[in-house]
Amino acid sequence: MIMYSNAIPTQPKTVQDCERQFDELCEYFGIPADIGGAERLRNLRNISTDDLSSAIMDLKNHTFRPVTDDLFSHSGIFDYYRDGSFAHEFKKRGLKLFIGEVLDEDTLYAVTNPPDPNIASLRMQISNYYALHVTDRLLKHYTLPQIKDKKG
């Protein structure tokens, strides 16, 4: 397992929270919506990493993060970390962890699908990282900056 930056400050999205993203990705690659989810997933696994990476700039739901599936990312993830269960499972599976950092992460975020200067676009971008209920709670505390007209 490799971790690059991005601490997990909230419970990751649920599988249900990610269905729109799954549907968008399948549609992007021409995978029919009328076949079963397992078959759609098999088709996605046949897509090259280069093609998947290239698609990111075209997707609305472009950020792929851990999902609460109760197999690896558990409901109540912070209790799972604190009580040692995560470390025990990690060790039992013989996993190794390489922790790195993304150089100029702020620049990377600024140029990869930045939001337009409106609240709907900002909501879409934040919801790439957090569940909608978390996004909406965050946005209650944020006011868009006023843009000054440079003509006058």
Q: How far apart are CA 51 and CA 56, in angstroms?
A: 9
In this prediction, residue 97 carries a pLDDT of 80
In this prediction, residue 7 carries a pLDDT of 66
In this prediction, residue 149 carries a pLDDT of 63
Q: Which amino acid is at 71?
A: L
Q: How far apart are CA 129 and CA 7, in angstroms?
A: 11
pTM of the prediction?
Answer: 0.76
In this prediction, residue 5 carries a pLDDT of 58
In this prediction, residue 45 carries a pLDDT of 97
In this prediction, residue 151 carries a pLDDT of 60
Domain layout of the chain by residue ranges: 2-112
**Three-class secondary structure assignment of the chain:** CEEECCCCCCCCCECHHHHHHHHHHHHHCCCCCCCCHHHHHHHHHCCCHHHHHHHHHHCCCCCCCCCECCCCCCCCHHHHHHCCHHHHHHHHCCCCCEEECCCCHHHHHHHCCCCCCCHHHHHHHHCCCCCHHHHHHHHCCCCCCCCCCCCC
Q: Which residues of the chain have pLDDT under 50?
A: 2, 152
In this prediction, residue 110 carries a pLDDT of 82
Pairing of strands 2-4, 98-100: parallel
